[in-house]
Chain A
Amino acid sequence: MKFQNGAGELHDCRDAFTSMLEAMAERDPDIVAVCNDSVGSSKLVGFRERWPERLINVGIAEQNLVGVGAGLANGGKLPFVCAAACFLTGRALEQIKADVAYSNTNVKLCGISSGMAYGELGPTHHSTEDFAWVRAIPNIAVVAPADRIETAAATAWAAAYNGPVFLRISRVGVPDLFTESHKFELGRADMLRDGKDLTIIANGTLTHRAVCAAEILNAGGIGARVVNMASVRPIDEDAIVSAASDTGAILTCEEHTIFGGLGSAVAEVVVENVPVPLKRLGVPGIFVPTGSANFLLDEFGMSPDGIAESAIELLRKKA
């Protein structure tokens, strides 16, 4: 795995998503985009210009949105159902369960502007429960890419994969972490750097922050392994067990509540296999105050310095 440092120009992952979607749609006439009026926020303007018939806008009606997606799949189409992640999962969760996952329809649910991307718009517009809600449902992959390259790779993978997928796509700018050759594989974590003292497991917008934190720790003589866990369900149990056995402490970081998300999923594996000290960073189970996503992540201890501090605190618990 070639890894570039966590600095550099910031990119909106939605652009990588739609570029890949359009590239695939050019080759595959069955690909359709379905949205709930979110043509602009899902970055589907270009798609609509090129294939107006294949952009199915159901209006502001998320239950219908997901049901229509399931019906399109039944009728032989490959639907990418796009909506703000908070409404897609919160409003249409039963459709996700019954029409998509339980019915095993080949629907790609694309939760756009996930996490706290809508910042100051407040908790109604934040999607910080979606990992918990969706990963509790059987038969649906839950994927949160970390940069624009992984977003494109995961989008391409989703089209090729035959089954229900929930793809979590942020609009908060992140630097490139992977090189162009990166391939996404469901259920496989990627170790971005190795270290012997603890492991930081993150995904989405938190991965580059975790990498920066590892650099801070390294400067202080602490070796931190960084694992990008884009695939939340299924989760890479082997990578988690190895991290626990090899480094003896695990710190998780996510743009999601600490209840039921990535940290919980990691903790489940750790506790049942190799119990070691573990700390979950994320939204601490509150309706967050006003602020941008980056402000709020810092506020909840997930600035690179904040993550490094939590790591040092966690190390004190190691036997």
Chain B
Amino acid sequence: MGISNIWVFSQESNGTATSGTLELLTHARTLSGGVTAFVGGDASAIAGILGEYGATKVYATGDLGGALPGAAVASAMKAVIDGGDSPDLILFPQNYEGRDVMSRLSVKVDRTVLTNNVAVAVDGDTVTVTTPVFGGNTLVSTSFSGSAPYLASFRPKSFAAESASGAEAEVVAAPVPDLGSTGGATVTAVHVEESTGPKLDEADVVVSGGRGLGESDKFSMVDDLAKILNGAAGASRAIVDAGWVPYSMQVGQTGKVVKPNVYIAAGISGATQHMVGMKGAKNIIAINKDAEAPIFGVADLGIIGDVHKVLPKLIEALEGRG
């Protein structure tokens, strides 16, 4: 037996496969020879790159026509499974769409889901996934029991993406069946928030601000520092909840997980939910007034001080270097 048929829920962004998709395909092919990409939408633009990264087959639902992917893609997956192509393991990216599809599918196949993972191991028929808890201090490994398919989702950057120089994958239509009452949600308008500079979860430098900034106007210091260092600006949940900055900037368990070369935390105390999102940074610099702040426990360089005093001087010094 063993694990011979792995599916990867694959996503497109701006005409190419997302980095999360390529990471999962890369890892899937180390676990099994049979890797299938499942696309909720039209796959013609990405069949080439999906094949290059290891998919030997691509299922595509075709255009979803404004339906949210959760119920639609899960139903299409279930139809393929009922048709006889039954995966042993399905890997999902830990993001909005991945979570919705895996949740719906778990009910349809009556199997559990394991989320927020950073690793997966296969030993014979046993699949074990690992998730960090308590802000990443503890690693819990959980094995699936019962019969396949096993459903698991993985945080961004859990695996490194590497091309397998594979040929373009064959695309097989996996149409969405009639959804009945569950198909009612329809997207009527799409809004894209403008952002400049590198993307938060891909940036080499991330500067984040928290409640210690005192007021929303002071976030401009974080923006300025990020710009000078060619980095992205992030935020703690506290100031996102307070409405200072949009949710898309939130770093943490319920926001983005970042793994930059350097992470600068300004006025962030380091709540567990925040640490989950940034502990993977190679270097961490923290500035906080409170010497007891948990963020200092993970900082490579910690400054016990007032961000309102330290940041302006730091910005000035860096600007002075041209």
Physical interaction between A and B: no
- Residues of A participating in the B interface, judged by any CB pair closer than 8 Å: none
